[in-house]
Copies of this chain bind each other. A is one copy, B any other.
Amino acid sequence: MDGYLAVVAKREVRRYTNRSLDDDVLTKILQAGRASGSAKNSQPWRFIVLRDRARRAELAAMIMAPRNLEGCATAIAVVLTNERLRFDAGRVAQNMMVAAWALGVGSCVNSVRPDAQDRMREALGYPAEATVGTIVTLGYPAPGEPHPDPKAKPEKVLSRVDRRPLEEIVSYERYTS
């Protein structure tokens, strides 16, 4: 899929088919995260792959949208080893998700519930100074969900996307409200 198309067409996919992710596809998505830039190339992340269904069901109650984690094919918990670097967590998650989209795989980001931070740390076993930046759920899109389409046209995709128009969010040289 074309790179510009992959970036602008990537939508959140929250319901997935039963099809699993092949190992090489998962590896490619992990590599997309690994290759991401970060502050001073500090790479403040670890990726915990969650493939086991029972494991995902156990963790699901600790996130805001449990069904995403229960129903996905695989998830990747992005553990931030420096919790101040949430900007970099966003970069690495977006890299993984755009790469996934280009490979035909749907995804979305998931947040840990504020009241479940300690339980999540205990369950996954990461150290006190770390946090979960996001949990990326992955899978092939269920019917009715957005689908990666290599033949889509960026202009058409952008004309339909549920976002404020460019004129409302762009200004020149200075902020205008």
Contacts and interface: CB of A to CB of B under 8 A. Distances in A.
A57 to B, nearest CB: 13
Contact of A169 (B41, B47, B172): B47
Interface of A: 1-12, 27-28, 30-32, 34-37, 39, 41, 43, 45-52, 55, 79, 86-95, 97-99, 101-103, 108-109, 111, 124-127, 130, 133-134, 154, 157-158, 161-164, 166, 169-177
Contacts of A11: 37
A91 B93 CA distance: 7
A125 to B, nearest CB: 4
B3 A6 contact: yes
Contact of A88 (B9, B12, B39, B90): B90
B8 A175 contact: no
A50 B46 CA distance: 35
Contacts of A126: 175
Nearest to A98: B7
A43 B163 contact: yes
Contacts of A99: 3-4, 7-8
B127 A177 contact: yes
